[in-house]
Amino acid sequence: MTEPPRDTHFGFRTVDLDAKQGMVDDVFRSVARRYDLMNDLMSGGLHRAWKDALVTAVNPPRGEQPFRLIDVAGGTGDIAFRVIAAGGTETRATVCDINGEMLAVGRERAAERGLDATVAFVEGNAEALPFPDRSFDAYTIAFGIRNVPRIDAALKEAFRVLKLGGHFLCLEFSTVDVPGLDTLYDLYSFNVIPALGRSVAGDAEAYRYLVESIRRFPKPSDFAAVIAAAGFRRVGAQPLTGGIVALHSGWRL
């Protein structure tokens, strides 16, 4: 793929591509402690069902077969904990996130669950993962890919760290495809979500960015082409809840 233009849209604002990462870091640093609570409030708890669908697609082995997951941009550990619970005794997860505050929350939760030995937390950039080639059986990223400044670079890194036969799975907000629901969704997104951010997390701006970044994200067919360009095969997308979310999939074959 060709290198993307040097400035990109951060929500509906246009900023230099190199400045986007710092802005994203500021957003999630401000909401780290209440991130999961906000997910419950914003989605009416639906994010739990969406994450269950992701874990089902990961399908970790239930027996003693070694299985290694990398969950990128998953600092609070939510996906990793679910995969460990679904897998067998040799299932292990590594959470990689660029935001130290989110990772701190995840480490605390892992300790509370007694998962220190099975879930590792590593600070790192999705565009340059600090892991060797072909290290993992599955790569997941839930509601994080749209915040990566250079998505094509992150996808190439995902391809690099997956073993042959490894599964790439990306859960991300998408394009509502139910007439009428799209209008209601817009009204809710641009009015209710920033207000929730202000009252619960003390940061309406962070959640205005959230809504805007969702609207800027490519449609599933367009994103599928980007995933395939990184080298993945059998690329597809499953819409969930009328297209509010899509589960994107690809394989290193």
- Residue 246 three-state SS: strand
Query: For all residues of the chain together, what is the average pLDDT?
Result: 85
Tell me, yes or no, whether 62 lies in a domain: yes
CA nearest 248: which of 189, 239, 187? Answer: 239
pLDDT band at 226 (very low <50, low <70, confident <90, very high): very high
* Number of domains composing the chain: 1
* Domain of residue 102, residue span: 7-251
Indicate whether 1 belongs to any domain.
Answer: no
Domain contains 78 = yes
Which of 127, 162, 175 shows the shortest CA–CA distance to 4? Answer: 127
Q: What is the pLDDT of residue 11?
A: 40
pLDDT in tens, 24-33: 555 555 555 6
Q: Is the residue at 220 inside a domain? A: yes
Cβ pair 160, 145 in contact under 8 A: no
Indicate if the alpha-carbon torsion angle 40, 168, 22, 32 is positive or negative: positive
pLDDT at 239 over 80: yes
Highest mean pLDDT pick, 6-10, 36-40, 119-123, 201-205: 119-123
Tell me the per-residue pLDDT of 6-62, one tens digit each, with 9 for 90 and over: 333 334 444 455 544 544 555 555 555 666 766 666 777 888 999 999 999 999 999
Query: Which among 11, 26, 27 is positioned nearest to 197, based on CA atoms?
Result: 27
- Whether 54 contacts 247, CB under 8 Å: yes
